[in-house]
Amino acid sequence: MLPNLIALQMVSVPDAKQNLDQVESLIKALKPKTPALVVLPECFAFFGAKDKDQLNIAEAMGTGMIQDRLSSIAKQYGVWLVSGTMPTKIETESERFQASCLVFDDEGVCRADYQKIHLFDVQVADNTGSYLESRTTKPGEKITVIDDTPFGRLGVAVCYDIRFPGLFQAMGQIDVLALPAAFTEKTGAAHWHPLLQARSIEKQCYVVAANQGGEHQNGRMTYGHSCIYSGWGELLTEIRKGPGCVSAVMDFKQLTEIRNNMPITQHNRFRSELV
């Protein structure tokens, strides 16, 4: 059976249990055909309050209510689950956390983790204005690609990372890019689709982009438009606003044809030596 790719969109609140309940409710209602890859948005577990409030729910890697629940959901519904991001503790710091994206397989085993590398320290012409993610978040350093999945080579990145093509070049050939995000309304309207499409075209891979999508309790506006792109840069499916899911079937044969007809990886004169 061909794998299913699923992007789950949320309008998360500052309550981890409530958000986890919504994740499970959406997956249960979808009744995904397996094998299935479900990607959650950035900050899925806690969003809509002050960034530093995430410290109150930060967990040590490998233990905690949020991680236990994610593992349970993945196993119960037989899906691979890309957890969006959640705050994880830093042993040497108490005032910052890391934005960790965990990947659980269909047995509930955490197969990989990624810490967001590029932090959103920018000015945006919206009702928030100034974003300074580095004040509360420590950037990660490692590139995360999982080789042995039902979806081929799976690469993981988060939100602002999408603007930095060097990261994706360093991943080597991937079959699927999972991208949790919390793109703002303003930046999303300008750049969300062009960036996702560009990554799908240059990497000749599927892009599963799960975004936050609506107005949050602190007035922050996120763009939504969670979607899936093919390895040819086609927009396969999209949900505009509010909580919900979109899905698409992954076609390995089509990926192979695209790469054989246009062997970008072989032609690339600037291939990374990292992979």
Give the model confidence (pLDDT) of 48-69 as tens digits: 998 899 999 999 999 999 999 9
Helix axes 65-77, 16-30, angle to 10 degrees: 10
Residues forming the active site: 42, 116, 159
Q: What is the pLDDT of residues 94-147, one digit of tens each?
A: 999 999 999 999 999 999 999 999 999 999 988 888 899 999 999 999 999 999
Mean pLDDT (the chain) is 96
pTM of the full predicted structure? 0.96
CB 51 within 8 A of CB 133: yes
* Burial status of residue 253 (CB atoms within 10 A of its CB: 0-12, 13-18, 19 or more): exposed
Q: What six digits make up the tokens of 57? A: 């729910």
Q: Options 3.30.450.40, 2.60.120.10, 3.60.110.10, 3.20.20.20; which CATH number does 4-267 get? A: 3.60.110.10
Domain map of the chain by residue range?
Answer: 4-267
Report which of 68, 67, 101 is spatially closest to residue 84, judged by C-alpha positions.
Answer: 101
Give tens-digit pLDDT for 210-229. Answer: 999 999 999 999 999 999 99
The H or E element that residue 267 is part of is helix 264-267
Tell me if the bond preceding 35 is cis, omega within 30° of 0.
yes
